[in-house]
Amino acid sequence: MSARLNTATAPAAAPSSDVAVAAAGSDPCCAEPLPVLGRDVTVPLVTGGEVTYAALDYAASAPALQRVWDDVAAYAPYYGSVHRGAGYLSQLSTDLFENSRVTVADFLDCREGDQVVFTRSTTDSLNLLASALPADCRVFVFETEHHASLLPWGDARVTYLNAPRTHAEAVRTLEEALAGREPSPRSSSWGDPIAPALVCVTGASNVTGELWPVKELAEVAHAHGARIVLDAAQLAPHHAVSVRDLDVDWVAFSGHKLYAPFGSGVLAGRADWLQEAEPYLAGGGASRKVARRADGGVDVEWHTTPARHEAGSPNVIGVYSIASACKTLTEAGFENLVAREQHLVDRVLEGLATVPEVKVLSLFGDESPSRPARGTPTRVGVISFVVEGWNSSHFAAALSAEYGIGVRDGLFCAHPLVRTLLGSAPQDPGECGAPEAQPGEASLNAIRVSFGAGTPDEHVERFVGAVKELVREGAKWRYRTEDGRCVPAV
């Protein structure tokens, strides 16, 4: 087994040289970006020539950290079945899998007794939690959530809360909703004569990038006998997340947004609801003992460990990649990463502010300036906007085809939020546009630029310059709609 693999499987690996270089320097704003795959990829332009691709769609999927890729490549020859075999590779893979669980728990600052369950994604994690809700559980969720948080709750009684316009309004809205819960004939697990309740809230909006008052919302939830799950899909890649400090009951996130795009996710938090629920998937790995009954059926004893909800052969590569990303970000230092990202956020916002035709979308508005007192950021590297005179799909297509810049356009799997932010103001059709609108409804979509620890300053500067040039001079190429997408006309 290679020395690199020995180091990578340790619960606390020493910083690798690339991370140490990236984090060095007295001014974190000037630190180098963390090395990621694809940083040297070139793409063709419709106007001729090639340019280094500017990947500014981190909020959808972030590129793999070079360290993650190296760790996975070092482990790959040693891949084996987990919890299934006596052979050396199986035992090594099992150790790596379980050590990864410890690494993630440390990364999230979990409490003693919390469980880390490996899933496919944030969406899968929240659907797992939804399947484990106690009977009569009420769910409270703001309409501003990503669909992964908005839709999984199935047969539970869901209360959708209106979009708040300030942090204080968010806290007040939740307080009033929880206070208005009706009594239940049975006591909840908190000992109050009300039905159990769960609050689901994002840590950072996947549309505006704005941070939510998670700790204050958790305090309100617990004061009213409710529990809270944090959707950290957009928070964990940008800021340190402490389950203990935020006092949330569960946290969910995805590897592919945490620079580990290998198809794995995490649900971490309190064990009781998970242990009491039927397994999310029934099958091998979730069962401790299975026996035939005299009547021809089977009796099953399920695990009470995280394996209860991890039936089937697990995604060892995906799990290990998450652990590697957690180590890399921790070693780089979130203080440095946040400061550098804030520098990029400021540059984008300042650049867009000089273009009158650009409107940046914001939920909390002036209450959450880019850099408030004490220098505490109030948004991550996710910014959405619209451009007067342009359909957003057309603008995003021109950024890609003419400047080699990858952004996202649409409603970002947060349709209620984007529609609230855009209101009923129609967008100009431009030369083409994505047909998201219902019959008789204005076509609404926005542009989202997102970035993080691997983004070079040049990509942000190129983006700002491209926005200004497109608004001032227009597109250099003609575009058409093909299968609902705006593409360059041939």
Neighbours of 471 (CB within 10 A): 17
- Annotation marks residue 413 as catalytic: yes
Residue type, 305: T
Q: Are strands 479-482 and 157-161 parallel, antiparallel or unpaired?
A: unpaired
Residue 308's identity, in one-letter code, is R
Q: C-alpha angle 483/208/175, rounded to 5°?
A: 125
Burial, 223: exposed, middle or buried (Cβ in 10 Å; 0-12, 13-18, 19+)?
Answer: exposed
* CA 228 vs CA 25, 122, 138, 253: distances in Å: 39, 15, 12, 15
The torsion of the CA quartet 253, 257, 258, 262, rounded to 10 degrees, works out to 90
Catalytic residue among 29, 200, 413, 432: 413
Closest CA to 209 of 150, 147, 146, 126: 146
Distances from the Cα of 396 to the Cα of 66, 96, 251, 392, 430, angstroms: 28, 41, 32, 6, 12
In what helix (H) or strand (E) does residue 284 lie, and over which residues does it extend? none
Question: Which residues have C-beta within 8 Å of that of residue 300, sequence separation ≥ 6?
Answer: 282, 287, 289, 290
Collapsed DSSP state (helix, strand, coil) of residue 30? helix
Report, as residue numbers or ranges, the catalytic residues. Answer: 413
